[in-house]
Amino acid sequence: ASVCRHAARGPAPGGVRAHDAERACGHVLHRGAPVLAQREVAEALDELDVPVACVARPRRSGDYLTTQRVLDQFVQHSPPSADTRPIMVVAHPDHTWRCLALVSLAGYTAAVPDARSIVGLQWEKFGCDSDGFDPDSIYEPTTSADDFAVYESKHQRSILREHPGLDERLQVLPSGVGLQPSPLRGDAIERKPGG
């Protein structure tokens, strides 16, 4: 399965969501895997004629849907099983570590492609800046890399406090396609303002 989560909210499909949908589409067409997607990503996938098996939605219109609540809906639809094939998590590169951590803690075997390794990736064609953030996003942490770094690092550190050593257990894909490293390794989540 491909599990799709974007790092922004706002009118669908939006830049980040359209980009995630395009990435998911490539994975789905290549693997024939079922797709579980957050509403905005599912709407963008629909425009690409990609079927979505489960759409995570907020309880009420206008509510914010957290990453954990998205995962909770996916678990209800497709619980972890004895199948050892990994699920593929498609998310903004700065959000992939937390997505992978949460799906792993939920009991899935999971992997996350590193979008930064995709040759020719152009966020700008989706209305985002070169880091993949939408300056017009209605959700402030997703308007810039610097704002998101502050927001995301708090969540990552919370997970690592509750689950010491988790980052060492997370899987990395072969052939140099890897994960967004955890904040303890000094990755882009810890980037300096303007960096």
Q: What is the mean pLDDT of residues 172-176?
A: 38
Q: How far apart are the C-alpha atoms of 51 and 144, rounded to whole Å?
A: 31
Q: Is omega for the bond preceding 174 within 30 degrees of 0, making it cis?
A: no
Residue with tokens 């919370």: 158
The three-class DSSP label of residue 87 is strand
Query: By CB neighbour count within 10 A (0-12 exposed, 13-18 middle, 19+ buried), where does 125 fall?
Result: exposed
DSSP structure class, residue 86: P
Question: For 138-148, what is each residue's pLDDT tens digit?
Answer: 888 889 999 99
Map tokens 């954990």 to a residue.
68
Q: What does the pLDDT read at residue 56?
A: 93
Write down the domain spans for the chain.
2-121+163-180
Q: Do 88 and 150 touch, CB atoms closer than 8 A?
A: no
Alpha helix stretches (DSSP H) within the chain: 15-31, 39-47, 67-77, 96-105, 145-162, 166-169
pTM: 0.72
pLDDT tens digits for range 121-139: 778 887 889 888 999 988 8
CB 148 within 8 A of CB 7: yes
Residue 191 has pLDDT above 70, yes or no: no
Between helix 39-47 and helix 15-31 the angle, nearest 10°, is 70
Of 11-25, 54-68, 119-133, highest mean pLDDT: 54-68
Dihedral sign computed on CA atoms, order 58, 104, 129, 30 = negative
SS3 33: coil
Question: For the chain, what is the radius of gyration of the CA atoms?
Answer: 15
Q: Higher confidence at residue 192 or residue 92?
A: 92
Q: How far apart are CA 181 and CA 184, in angstroms?
A: 8
